[in-house]
Structure 1
Amino acid sequence: MKRYATALLLLSLGPLNSQQPLADDAQIASNISQTAADFQASTRRFSNPKWSYPAGDLNSVLAVTRQQLLDDLPKEAAPLRAYVLQNFPASLKGVPANKKVDMKICGPYLTNANNLLNSLKNVSAYRLDLILDSNPTGALFEITPVAGDKLSRASRGTITNLWRGVYNYTVTRDGQKTITGTIDLVREKGNALHCTFVHQGSSGSSLPCNLLAEH
């Protein structure tokens, strides 16, 4: 059974079966730490505020590091790979490769790149078991990664071995207003998505779900 089966509806309360993990989290963490160290070493020369250099020099380092991060992640980690593609800068936008730049221009790019590397290094695990719960119970959750197909669960349940990344969710229940939102499972802490409905007849708007830490 594929991890991301299209429009898979699970109405039991058991965990979502997933294929055996193909990569070890410890090895992924080691690879990413090495990539981060290589990036630090490669960009040290760009950090002197008194120097300027061709934008293409930094573009090369960014592109190589971005590709290395993708190589550090297994193919089945589609949500996490998409996270890298969306958040790690590939080049200085709108700057010709031969134009001289300094920290005023490249500083924000270096900061964004280092922030992402630190986020990836600091996660406790690259997969998690995401608990889904609603009040009232009996909701249908649709969890959609930015890369991959829809996962659906009935409340209450758990999606096991879910790769970190950004996910959109839609939570529905008869007589209640639909809840929609987005969770960032890389930067946000927590492993339990708790959703509280607003009755269909209420004048209030639906509220986003809360991502909480639950053991």
Structure 2
Amino acid sequence: MMSLVKNEWMKIFSKVSTYIFIAFLLLAALGAAVIDYKLSPDETNKDWKQELNADIQEQEKALEAKEISEEEKAAIMEEITYNKQLLADNINPDLNTNWTYMAEWTTSLTSFVTLFVVIVCSSLVSSEFSDGTIKQLLIRPYKRWKILLSKYITSFVICSVITCEPAYIQLSNRNHILWQWFVFRQNHGSCIFRIQSGGSRRIFRGHDRLLDTRIPSHHDHRFHVKHII
């Protein structure tokens, strides 16, 4: 089986189109980084504290409305508490980092990656007929289901490598170790910044302070944090 998978893997990287797509990804990443650097405003000089104070005032006014429900009041009060803690801990919630850029860049190129994976996976079978190698493949001492399974395994591996590469980079960050220390129990602090996508910024509320960190995850839940290092 391993020899069949290795053979399929060699077929993929024997094609010029594979290297063209890899070069396209590298150029797209470099070009997007340069454009983002040139066009993005300098958020470090932005008066984010004044904006947070303005948001708090608007939220406090919203609490005075009579038509809002108790659930909406609770949500607004929680948002006010969150903004006040950001001010107290001097954390800019709008500050872009390499991690947020990585998440946005990965999302923008998802369609191209998906297209490449579809082309590669379909060519593993179609090329056997177009090149006339299907007969040579079938006369080998392997059952047909093993041949098809090897193509499926190769497709799965190449898909995982291409789509999960940003996640591998994120996992190399030392802050990922923090994830192992999170015990989700009630009354031990809670995650008050909703998780959006892999590699995004995470702002956690511990016992008496906020923690600004990055943890790769794809969930969007309210977790409870027992211990933070």
TM-score (norm 1): 0.31
Q: Is the strand fraction higher in 1 or 2?
A: 1
Larger Rg: 2
Q: Is the helix fraction higher in 1 or 2?
A: 2
TM-score (norm 2): 0.30
